[in-house]
DNA sequence: CATGTCACG
DNA sequence: ACGTACGTGACATGA
């Protein structure tokens, strides 16, 4: 058998491998009990590290872009849609040509991409020390999968179904007609044409918006918007989560296996798809019931470990602002500290409202805040929001300088960098269209924080994975959610692993402010929070 | 296949 | 006068 002949080569770490999207190959071979080792160069990741903003990093696109070569597509050999045949059914001559081209093009891409990457030592380090080591780790997390309490989700689906039907009946009664509440178009007709409610906002295409914040506003004066909001919340939970997750369980493993995409997000973050496990509800009690269905196997526990305020801490580090650094060094509640500074009161004089406003300001900072955006978020006058911004910058001058430096650098270079030299190109930073240019400026301010956070947790995953392998602890990493890592751990090993994970996560970098990690343990993901 | 909406960090 | 908070993925609708 061919695989038996190749196995020693594939498993020999001393023989370096070049490939395109090697995580895929690792997982395919793992299904045949072959451990692919020596994974050295992934051309998809070479392309991503060179320019994360490129629209695609698949082999066909890269071949066209870098080699001027049009590859044989998979559809050309296997067909598409319902007529598509299995690759094993493709005639051997065609299959051989396709497969050989694949190998040839990948190597040629590497020979083109690597010298470009090698021109920038920081990118080489990023590639060799972060992105490539992460590949087999992501593959393993995907294969580990997550255990799901199917019965619990099915029961939730049935309950949601009942409540949705009730709301539907009531909404139709108030609207005076039967209409599809899932259809923004039909909602518009009922709310704005039939019931003559005021149009508070329009969508980008000029339609009267029925988005959440608009309906919230209208709900103060009318009954129907409230019902539509409830309907939307419940049907979102049902269609996206309680109905869908049980369908996604792999019958062979009895678990749900997501795919982590390592070359999608422009900032360096991972993304998760099929299913997306990075947007499981948490903000409402209703939604958290779904997390209760993410469970550990018998005899095991779920551990969640997340970075506290990671992006603001990075901002404190990158900006060097003394006040912000002081707040983190004293391990203060940073929103409270901000409120005290901005509103000029003692820490113990900060009211709930002051803290809420300060929190919105802190979020705004991470997003490249404008007074307009802050005003909309806080539902206050733009002038009042501007006053907050001015006050903030007066109290944290280092942050203001950092923002201005970052903006200037982005204009001058056409890109910004994370702490580890990851680049984000901003093609519209010098656009003549003001709206686009300002959007690029906000992205320029956000990217170093979001991207550095991504670099840090990737390093943490590598450190944790190494610790797990060498310690032999009975524990598996099962999810990553941007600033959080989730594990399934044998009960007897929980305390040890918890502290090791914390040490790995806090120790990945020495910033000017401490990295803090909160952990929780439970029988399910909700309890672990 | 585009659009609007909404789930997460 | 303009019109936005940063980054993702998935769903239902309706052409």
Partners of A425 in the β-ladder: A415
Protein-contacted bases of chain B (C-beta within 7 A): 3-9
Residues 200-239 of A with CB under 7 A from strand B: 203-205, 207, 209-212, 215, 229, 232-233, 236-237
What number is the average pLDDT over the span A505-515?
Answer: 98
A219: number of Cβ within 10 Å: 16
Residue A82 has pLDDT above 80, yes or no: no
pLDDT tens-digit map of A463-494: 999 999 999 999 999 999 999 999 999 999 99
Sequence-ordered alpha helix ranges (H) in A237-351: 244-247, 285-291, 310-319, 322-329, 334-343
pLDDT at A165: 97
Q: Tokens at residue A120, please?
A: 């920038």
Give me the percent of chain A exceeding a pLDDT of 90: 94
pLDDT at A79: 83
Q: Secondary structure of A323-348 in the HEC alphabet?
A: HHHHHHHCCCCHHHHHHHHHHCCCHH
Residue–nucleotide distance: A185 CA to C14 C1' (Å):
9
What number is the average pLDDT over the span A138-151?
Answer: 98
Average the pLDDT over each of A147-151, A247-251, A372-376, A482-486 and give the range with the smallest value.
A372-376
| pLDDT band per the 50, 70, 90 thresholds, residue A504 | very high
Q: Do A332 and A309 meet the contact criterion of CB atoms below 8 Å apart?
A: no
pLDDT tens-digit map of A146-197: 999 999 999 999 999 999 999 999 999 999 999 999 999 999 999 999 999 9
pTM of the predicted structure, to 2 decimals: 0.97
Question: Interhelix angle for A22-30 vs A132-144, to 10°?
Answer: 40
Average the pLDDT over each of A50-54, A213-217, A514-518 and give the range with the smallest value.
A213-217
Residue A85 has pLDDT above 90, yes or no: no
Residue–nucleotide distance: A179 CA to B9 C1' (Å):
35
Protein-contacted bases of chain C (C-beta within 7 A): 1-15
What number is the average pLDDT over the span A413-429?
Answer: 97
| pLDDT band per the 50, 70, 90 thresholds, residue A74 | confident
pLDDT tens-digit map of A11-40: 999 999 999 999 999 999 999 999 999 999
Residue A206 has pLDDT above 90, yes or no: no
Q: Do A185 and A205 meet the contact criterion of CB atoms below 8 Å apart?
A: no
pLDDT at A505: 98
For A194, half-sphere exposure in the C-beta direction (CA atoms, 13 angstrom radius) is: 15
């Amino acid at each position: 058998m061919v695989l038996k002949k190749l196995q020693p080569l594939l498993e020999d770490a001393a023989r370096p491998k070049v490939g395109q999207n090697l995580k895929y190959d690792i997982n395919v071979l793992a299904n045949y009990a072959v451990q692919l080792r020596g994974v050295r160069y992934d051309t998809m990741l070479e392309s991503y590290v060179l320019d994360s903003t490129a629209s695609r990093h698949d082999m066909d696109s890269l071949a066209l872009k870098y080699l001027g070569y049009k590859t044989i597509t998979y559809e050309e050999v296997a067909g598409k849609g319902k007529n598509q045949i299995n690759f094993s059914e493709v005639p051997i001559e065609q299959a051989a040509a396709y497969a050989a081209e694949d190998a040839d093009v990948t190597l040629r891409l590497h020979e083109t991409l690597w010298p470009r990457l090698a021109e920038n030592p920081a990118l080489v380090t990023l590639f060799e020390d972060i992105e490539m080591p992460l590949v087999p780790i992501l593959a393993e997390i995907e294969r580990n999968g997550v255990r799901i309490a199917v019965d619990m989700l099915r029961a939730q689906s049935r309950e949601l179904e009942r409540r949705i039907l009730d709301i539907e009946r009531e909404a139709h009664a108030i609207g005076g007609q039967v209409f599809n509440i899932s259809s923004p178009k039909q909602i518009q007709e009922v709310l704005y044409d039939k019931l003559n409610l005021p149009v508070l906002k329009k969508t980008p295409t000029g339609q009267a918006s029925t988005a959440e914040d608009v309906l919230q506003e209208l709900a103060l004066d009318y009954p129907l918007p409230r019902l539509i909001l409830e309907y939307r919340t419940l049907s979102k939970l049902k269609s996206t989560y309680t109905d869908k997750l049980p369908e996604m369980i792999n019958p062979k493993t009895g678990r749900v296996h997501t795919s982590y995409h390592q070359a999608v997000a422009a900032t360096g973050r991972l993304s998760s798809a099929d299913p997306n496990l990075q947007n499981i509800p948490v903000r409402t009690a209703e939604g958290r019931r779904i997390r209760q269905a993410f469970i550990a196997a018998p005899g095991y526990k779920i551990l969640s470990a997340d970075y506290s305020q990671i992006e603001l801490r990075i901002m404190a580090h990158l900006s060097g602002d003394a006040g912000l650094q002081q707040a983190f060094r004293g391990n203060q509640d940073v929103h409270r500290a901000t409120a005290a500074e901005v509103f000029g009161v003692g820490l113990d004089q900060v009211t709930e409202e002051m803290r809420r406003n300060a929190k919105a300001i802190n979020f705004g900072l991470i997003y490249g805040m404008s007074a307009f955006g802050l005003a909309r978020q806080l539902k206050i006058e733009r002038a009042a929001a501007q006053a907050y911004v001015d006050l903030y910058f007066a109290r944290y001058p280092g942050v203001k300088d950092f923002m201005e430096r970052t903006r200037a650098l982005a204009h001058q270079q056409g890109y910004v960098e994370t702490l580890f030299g990851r680049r984000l190109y901003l093609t519209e930073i010098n656009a003549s269209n003001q709206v686009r240019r300002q959007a690029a400026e906000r992205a320029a301010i956000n990217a170093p924080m979001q991207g550095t956070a991504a670099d840090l947790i990737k390093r943490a995953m590598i450190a944790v994975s190494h610790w797990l392998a060498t310690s032999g602890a009975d524990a598996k990493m099962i999810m990553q959610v941007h600033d959080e890592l989730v594990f399934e751990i044998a009960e007897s090993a929980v305390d040890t692993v918890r502290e090791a994970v914390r040490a790995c996560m806090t120790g990945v970098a020495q910033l000017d402010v401490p990295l803090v990690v909160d952990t929780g343990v439970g029988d399910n993901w909700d309890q672990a929070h």
